Copies of this chain bind each other. A is one copy, B any other.
């Protein structure tokens, strides 16, 4: 068996919430229900969800707004939007800003279930990449200011001597920083360091 799937379900209509939760439960989905996007946003950091299913039309923060907020927070789990009164423009806007799917009510419950399973499968793949990247980012963040400066210039292709001139320190000191930062960030050679810098989108 795979890991249990945990779905965040958001809808201001309690009847929809109940009915979908029941359906999800029958299909081995673990569900957390929220009446508003705000409630969900308050809880999202403290719980691990595999997928978000949200209504579009809700008082306050709409489903579309929710996608924007989650993007801004760096929330990488897939978001499926459902709506009873959606139009094509809305659907296009939703997908463009990164919603995983946009489904019109009334819908075949199996259609939603299939989309969720799809979303979770794809989402879990990229979760691994994101986690890897976050570990890298935290290693980078643990570098001292000087080490970061030296890294940026080294990655730009400058020699220790050139870096020393830029930073007004001796090339020897640069070599020291260089060795320390390579060890800290876990790069075994310059090529690895450059790849790491590109992955965290290090810009001068």
Contacts and interface: CB of A to CB of B under 8 A. Distances in A.
Nearest to A96: B95
Contacts of A92: 91-92, 95, 101-102
A86 interface: yes
| Band of interface residues on A | 20 to 34
Please tell me how many copies of the chain the complex holds: 2
Label chain A's interface by main secondary structure: helix
Given A91-B91, A95-B96, A190 B157 contact: yes
26 contacts: A86-B88, A87-B104, A88-B88, A88-B91, A88-B102, A88-B103, A89-B104, A91-B92, A91-B95, A92-B92, A92-B95, A92-B101, A92-B102, A95-B95, A156-B191, A157-B188, A157-B189, A157-B190, A157-B191, A157-B192, A190-B191, A190-B194, A191-B194, A194-B194, A194-B195, A198-B198
